[in-house]
Amino acid sequence: MWFFDILILSFCYGFIYYFWKLISYYLQIFKIPKSSFNGSLEKVLKFINGDTKFLFEQVFSSLKVNGLTRSWVGPFVFINIIHPEDMKIIFTSKNCLDKPNFVKKYLKLRNGLVFGDIKPWKSHRKILNYHFGLQSVQSMIPMFNKKVKILIDNFEKMVGKKEFDIFYFVAAATLDNILTLMGLDLDIQNKDEKQRDVFIQDVKCYTEIVLLRVMKIWLYFDFFFDRSYLGKKHKEAKSSIGDKLVKNVMKNIQEIPKSEKNFIQALMDPKYNLKDTEIYDEIFTIIIAAQDTSAVALSNVLLLLAMHKNVQNKVFDELRKIIGNEIDYLDLEKLNELDYLEMVINEAMRILPVIPLFFKKNETNLTTNEGYTIPAGSNLFISVYSMHRSKNVWGEDAETFKPERFEKENFEKIHPYAFIPFSKGSRMCLGYRYAMALMKIQLANIIMKYEVDTSLKLDELEFKLNVTLNIVQGHMISLNKRDL
């Protein structure tokens, strides 16, 4: 009999303990100011309807408050991080490396770096860090130089025509580069438009559905999601990327000489003892992490250059001065001399951050800059867009495109955690060196050859929230050949 008494007592104790923890958690959470994101019936309807433009406006209008706030997104409560000092606390903490559970559950890439569990992350990141260093980037420069010529040839067909959305051209170029980086040269840029766009749409669709799932609360449960239209589309996109790209990368890698060891070969090295599923998830993750981001980044810079002719002329002058009349080949040394171009890229990633928002989770209580406690286990919104446009951080002209902010003496005055297009700390973007080198080579080649123009204005752009920042109007640009 005493056995049952102990059992009941333990159960009661467990229940009270759990309940008490839950109450203390929410008591801490409710001390944090509420954001205006919590809404009326009309807002709720727009939200569950999956209106990602509305979501963008809501998330970032409320987050422009220059301090910590909390908001509910579907069944999840989020703590919105905006202040550079809070960013510093989070990015330097060993207890903020994990991602919220819904990210891992919805992306279904549990063994991959960006969306996976912390245990595989630690070992995979250690293996990969070496292969994403300066030396590896150096070895990829010839390939980047070769592939950009195809992009230029494809642009040639559009010269003198009316404005068109450059995104698909650019996205094909970045995917082509990324797959070749993995040892698989599918020559995607030379495929016909329909075939080319299928690859790109699959990647977009895969991440977009994850966001829609967050908004459509009833799809939280796999049982409903798997049977829904979105669930089926997500599965289709996953198998399409998996069959056409990931499996091909894995098969093809066997034929590449070991002396050309790239990072996929490193992951496959028997000494690391990784399972096929882990390698599969990692390749899938890197395609997702690299493809859309690099394409959006380059498209944004081109759009901003088209909007700001004075800046475009300065980029062109710098290219002429450092490179001469024509680009044959750009090596890393030359790329490093293109200071103004780098400032332009940085300013573009500040004002149009490629990933406007990303997620983290804290494993222990955190005390913020303003003295609030963020209880352990909270989901954190790292609100890049809000911080990058904050007047408190960047000054009254924060909404103006002004590359000179990144001149050494100006940038030194800005908080070191105020500019985070590639994140910061030990989970900072693995591929940022690749991304920067590729972007510089692409931009230098494009701007040397063409003058870009657009009728779009920066302050009239509308945005949709996806994993990357989506411009509703598209990246509409026209091209004219330069007279050299």
Q: Interface with ligand HEM by CB under 6 A: which residues?
A: 113-114, 125, 178, 286, 289-290, 293-294, 297, 354-355, 358, 421-423, 427, 429-431, 434-435
The nearer residue to ligand HEM, 252 or 426, going by C-beta atoms, is 426
Q: Least CB distance from residue 177 to ligand HEM, whole Å? A: 8
Nearest residue by C-beta to ligand HEM?
A: 431
The nearer residue to ligand HEM, 120 or 375, going by C-beta atoms, is 120
Q: Which residues are annotated as a binding site?
A: 429
CA–CA separation, 299 and 165 (whole Å): 9
The nearer residue to ligand HEM, 287 or 311, going by C-beta atoms, is 287
Q: Least CB distance from residue 432 to ligand HEM, whole Å? A: 6
Contact (CB, 8 A) for 103 and 55: no
What is the separation of C-alpha 236 from the centre of its chain, rounded to a whole number of angstroms? 22
Q: Backbone phi, then psi, for 388, in 5-degree steps?
A: -70, -20
The nearer residue to ligand HEM, 264 or 290, going by C-beta atoms, is 290
The nearer residue to ligand HEM, 177 or 445, going by C-beta atoms, is 177
The nearer residue to ligand HEM, 178 or 230, going by C-beta atoms, is 178
Contact (CB, 8 A) for 140 and 461: no
Q: Least CB distance from residue 63 to ligand HEM, whole Å? A: 17
Taken in order 190, 191, 193, 197, is the CA torsion positive or negative? negative
CA–CA separation, 201 and 199 (whole Å): 6
The residues, ordered by sequence, that sit 6+ positions from 186 with a Cβ below 8 Å of its Cβ are 176, 179, 248
Q: Least CB distance from residue 417 to ligand HEM, whole Å? A: 13
CA–CA separation, 401 and 407 (whole Å): 14
Contact (CB, 8 A) for 416 and 88: yes
Q: Least CB distance from residue 287 to ligand HEM, whole Å? A: 9
Residue at 460: amino acid letter: E
The nearer residue to ligand HEM, 286 or 335, going by C-beta atoms, is 286
Query: How many Cα atoms occupy the beta-carbon half-sphere of 82 within 13 Å?
Result: 25
The nearer residue to ligand HEM, 420 or 476, going by C-beta atoms, is 420
The residues, ordered by sequence, that sit 6+ positions from 476 with a Cβ below 8 Å of its Cβ are 163, 164, 165, 303, 454, 455, 456
The nearer residue to ligand HEM, 319 or 384, going by C-beta atoms, is 384
Q: How far apart are the first and last CA of the chain?
A: 96
What are the beta bridge partners of residue 478? 453
Q: Which residues are annotated as a binding site for heme?
A: 429
> How many residues does this entry show for the chain?
484
